[in-house]
Amino acid sequence: MKRLKRIFFPKWVAWFVLLVIVPVFLVLEYEAFYGKEQYPLMGAVFGFILVLTVAMAFLVSYGKVPYMLIEG
């Protein structure tokens, strides 16, 4: 019987992703809702995607969801 080895990101990756994505999220949401040409639907969609990206980074970094399974 083969075992699956679960591989996770290091914990610092989650905080680095958060550090990068939060400023992008803030600028994007400001421009989508208060900018010269307003696109609230686009802001909501991209905001949702960025929030999911941060959530997945934390789940993979803190050992809840593996990003890779190695047979062996």
Domain-located, residue 3: no
Domain-located, residue 1: no
Pairwise CA distance, residues 46 & 27, whole Å: 11
Q: The whole model's pTM is what?
A: 0.85
The parent domain of residue 57 ranges over: 10-66
Pairing of strands 68-71, 4-7: antiparallel
Domain-located, residue 40: yes
Domain-located, residue 72: no
Band the pLDDT of 45: cuts 50, 70, 90: very high
Domain-located, residue 41: yes
Domain-located, residue 35: yes
Calculate the CA dihedral of residues 22, 23, 27, 33 and round it to 10 degrees.
Answer: 20
The mean pLDDT value for 22-46 works out to 93
**Number of separate domains in the chain:** 1
What's the pLDDT at 11?
95
- Helix orientation angle between 11-34 and 40-61, rounded to the nearest 10 degrees: 170
pLDDT at 1 over 90: no
